[in-house]
A and B are shown apart, each in its own frame.
Chain A
Amino acid sequence: MTLLLLFNITNGLIVGAFYVLMALGLSLILNLSNVINFAHGGFLVIGGYIAYAISPYVGFWGALLLAPPLTAVIGLVVERVLIRPLYGRDPLYSLLLTFGLAFMIEDLTRFIFGPQGKPFAIPAFLAQPLSNELFFITGYRLFMVAMVFVAIALLFVLLRYTRLGIRIRAGTLDLETVAALGINVRLLRSLNFAVGIFLAGLSGVLAAGQLGLEPTMGTGLLMPSFIAIIVGGIGSLPGTLVGGLLIGVASGVTAVFFPAASEAVIYVLMAVILLTRPRGLFGEEGMMG
């Protein structure tokens, strides 16, 4: 029983780490550009399939290194061509656009790579369990969690210590004043979008190694990622971090006692938190607060 609980808590933390990675990207884009990016799961799929397509040539490590930036470049093009014309309009426009885009990406993936799942090979040494007792902790799972935390740490450093990051944070508070201080806010939004999509691409590569590839793999992660943002408090990145891990673990633990409710519990948790703290766990402090 203890082992089963531990197994599910570990699972929950790993799934939660994915929610966090997805949700941080969503949060960045939402905070600065007021775009609710429903295509975020689509970019995760793109990241995964790029890794799959290039790994025969560059290997697993090459794919891990190259797929996220390539996904970010695709994100830049999408932002420039499709999303930028909608800034300043009702957020509903970009929501509808990205909602449609999500379907297009899914179908395009199906069209190019076929509807069946594809395996994505990871290095043999990462696939081994660490011990017989704790069979569920494979090297790859630890590696994934480590990668997620490295990405979060780098994002934190970017936002805290670079001028780009400071301007992104300033822009989420008052974009007009950032523009009045001579900053090209169009470029700022593009770069910020690219950072968010980079994180989605990274999630895609990491998820591919654990679960294999499917054209629909992004959809299941998207809703919980939105909920992670809401639970943590919109506008707060530390909140998003805590929110993602929290709903991951809650879902994992529920799977032990009442498997059927493991998905519903996420929504129940959100409802309870919104009833007690309407702005989410970290809502009042605001971004990086």
Chain B
Amino acid sequence: MTAALTAEGLHTYYGKSHILQGVSLAVAEGRITALLGRNGAGKTTTLRSLMGLTPARQGKITIFGEDTTRWPTFRIAAQGVGYVPEGRRIFANLSVEENLKVPLERGGPWTIERIFKLFPRLEERKLNRGRQLSGGEQEMLSIARALLINPRLLILDEPSQGLAPLVVREVFRIIQQMKAEGISILLVEQNARMSLEIADDAYVLDDGMIVYSGGAQELAADEARVRSLAGASAEEWTLA
């Protein structure tokens, strides 16, 4: 089992506050790795450190065999890392079609035509501006944008946030489909139960430290732990 991404002993700060205190994790190639944890545990910071957006002060990051620890963000992404940021970060003044023309054209199976086949809704709305889309459509657009750089590794930060249960199911179905395409996936979620249903491996982050690492199923079986992780709203949902 080769790793798409490994992080060893990451320490990240916002100003003086010490957010990540030695985070180590690995994303195995072709598998879905879930990174769970309560609000403020450091999940988003972990992803931002991996992407070079908030660089870690200490530690080492390896992506597809390259030491990317000191690389600028665009170079990390250009290696084949698709990033779906927290809050989706759609370009609100740009049309859907223009949003899809921003990513680097790395070459590969994903083209705008293929994206429109996967997300027919985006084609219908291609001339609408980003800000005119619903939350679910924005999430689709954010995922579509990340797919267009033809990623080998897809990093998603809370894709289910603020979406209706039906739309969340759709998003998770697409994540599974991406795994079937051979893309390695690192998924950060509040929605612990549903994430563990599709994940192969799992990590739990608490106060900037990894407190669980292992199989997703083993974690899912630990009812008390899952309950303590799940956000109140998400507790009852299942993938069904």
Q: How far is the CB of B97 from the nearest CB of chain A, in Å?
A: 9
Contact at B98–A179, with CB atoms within 8 Å? no
How distant is the Cα of A178 from the Cα of B91 in the complex, in angstroms?
9
**For A141, what are the chain B residues with a Cβ–Cβ distance below 8 Å?**
none
User: What number of B residues sit within 8 Å (CB to CB) of A?
Assistant: 25
Given known pairs A166-B94, A166-B102, A176-B73, the reply for A182 and B149 (CB within 8 Å) is yes
CB neighbours (8 Å) of A167 from chain B are 101-102
The verdict on B104 contacting chain A, using a C-beta distance below 8 Å, is: yes
Q: How far is the CA of A167 from the CA of B73 in the complex (A)?
A: 16
Residue from B74, B85, B92, B146 within 8 A of A173 (CB atoms): B92
CB distance from A96 to the nearest CB of B (A): 25
B92: chain A residues at CB < 8 Å are: 173
Question: Is there an interface contact between A287 and B93, defined as CB atoms closer than 8 Å?
Answer: yes
Q: Given A166-B94, A170-B91, check contact A177 B106 (CB 8 Å).
A: no
Query: Interface on chain A toward B: helix, strand, loop, or mixed SS?
Result: helix
Contacts of B75 in A (CB 8 A): 184
Tell me how far the C-beta of A150 lies from the nearest C-beta in chain B, rounded to whole angstroms. Answer: 24
What residues of A have a CB within 8 angstroms of the CB of B101 in the complex? 163, 166-167
Q: What residues of chain B lie closer than 8 Å to A286, measured between beta carbons?
A: 93
- Within A128-172, the residues touching B (CB, 8 Å) are 163, 166-167, 169-170
**Residues in A whose Cβ lies below 8 Å from that of B94:** 166, 169-170, 173
Interface flag for A4 (CB, 8 Å): no
Q: Is the CB of B77 within 8 A of A179?
A: yes
The reply on B145 being an interface residue by CB < 8 A is yes
Q: Which of B12-41 contact A (CB under 8 A)?
A: none
Known: A166-B101, A181-B145. A174 touches B91 (CB 8 A): yes
Residue of A nearest to B103 (CB): A181
A182-B53 in contact (CB<8A): no
Q: Which residues from chain A contact B51 at a C-beta distance below 8 Å?
A: 180
Q: Is A185 an interface residue (CB 8 A)?
A: yes
Tell whether B133 is near chain A: CB-to-CB under 8 Å. Answer: no
- Is the C-beta of B225 less than 8 angstroms from some C-beta in chain A? no
Distance A289 CA – B130 CA, assembled complex (angstroms): 12
CB distance A183 to B72 under 8 Å?
Answer: no
Query: A176 — which chain B residues lie within 8 A by C-beta?
Result: 53, 73
Chain B residues with CB under 8 A of A183: 74, 102-104
CB proximity of A279 to chain B, nearest CB, Å: 15
Is there a chain A Cβ closer than 8 Å to B83's Cβ?
A: yes
Q: Which of A182, A186, A287 contacts B103 (CB 8 A)?
A: A182
Assembly CA distance A109 to B93 (angstroms): 42
Interface membership of A271, Cβ < 8 A: no
Instruction: Report B-chain residues with C-beta under 8 Å of the C-beta of A169.
Output: 91, 93-94, 98
Inter-subunit contact B93/A180 (CB<8 Å): no
A23 to B208, CA, bound (A): 47
Interface flag for B173 (CB, 8 Å): no
Residue from the list B93, B146, B149 in contact with A289, Cβ < 8 A = B93
Q: Which residues on B sit within 8 Å (CB–CB) of A163? A: 101-102
Contact between A181 and B53 (Cβ–Cβ < 8 Å)?
no
A184: shortest Cβ distance to chain B, in Å?
A: 5
Q: Are A184 and B74 in contact (CB under 8 A)?
A: yes
Contact of B93 with A288 in the complex, beta carbons under 8 Å: yes
Whole-angstrom CA separation of A223 from B85 in the bound complex: 40
Given A180-B73, A185-B74, 13 other A-B residues pairs in contact with their CB atoms under 8 A? A163-B101, A174-B91, A176-B73, A177-B85, A177-B89, A177-B91, A178-B102, A179-B74, A179-B77, A182-B106, A286-B93, A287-B93, A288-B93
Residue pairs across A and B with Cβ atoms less than 8 A apart, 5 shown, are A166-B98, A169-B91, A177-B91, A180-B83, A289-B93
A→B interface (CB under 8 Å): 163, 166-167, 169-170, 173-174, 176-186, 285-289
* CB-based closest 10 A-B pairs: A182-B104, A182-B77, A181-B103, A179-B73, A182-B78, A177-B89, A180-B83, A179-B74, A170-B91, A170-B102
